[in-house]
Amino acid sequence: MAAPEDAAQIAAALRRSFAEYEPLYTPAAFAATVCTPGQILERMSEGPVWVAVENGTIVGTVSAVPRVRALYVRGMGVDPAMRGRGTGRALLERAEEFASRNGFDRLLLSTTPFLLSAIRLYEKHGFRREDSGPHDLLGTPLFTMIKDLNPPA
């Protein structure tokens, strides 16, 4: 779990995670995606924030906010140097464990169509695309993915 003193490192980790994709976002959408330390602190007041740490440096993060019976997963990013090592999977597992322990029926998230490796990770983790919105983040296209935690037998 992240602590308030981690906010600046989390913001830096998000910036590193999304830097290569910046040209694909509108400037406003990129700013909303990478977050400032102040925005990270605000997110901490809205729900849990988890971090992955390597040699004392935050190299990945994910946060979540409750929405009725669903836990909305947001702000997920993994430093490019750490990709392919299970960091994203481990962060998603923390969010899912939290959701299950706290009685949520499903996880949901929004992503951009150009984050192909993230989409593959979400699909491997059991997420599927859904037509509900949002379809746009400040001029950058989005789609929603959901994962039912208690699927019917």
Query: Span 26-40, mean pLDDT?
Result: 96
Tokens of 22: 């910046």
Structure tokens at 106: 């499903």
pLDDT, tens only, 45-57: 999 999 999 999 9
pLDDT at 151 over 90: no
Q: φ, ψ for residue 37 (rounded to 5)?
A: -55, -35
Q: Name the more confident of 114 and 152.
A: 114
Rounded-to-integer distance, Cα 46 and Cα 15, Å: 21
pTM of the shown model = 0.93
Report residue 63's pLDDT band, with 50, 70 and 90 as the boundaries. Answer: very high
> What's the CA gap between 126 and 137, in Å, rounded?
24
- 3-state SS assignment for residue 32: helix
* 4-148: CATH number: 3.40.630.30
Percent of the chain with pLDDT over 70: 98
Provide mean pLDDT across the span 70-82: 95
Q: Which residue in 128, 129, 8, 144 sits closest to 73, CA to CA? A: 144
**Token pair belonging to 29:** 């959408």
- Using CA atoms, how far apart are residues 151 and 153, in angstroms rounded to an integer? 6
Check: CB of residue 22 under 8 Å from CB of residue 115. Answer: no
User: Does the bond joining 134 to the residue before it have cis omega, within 30 degrees of 0?
Assistant: yes
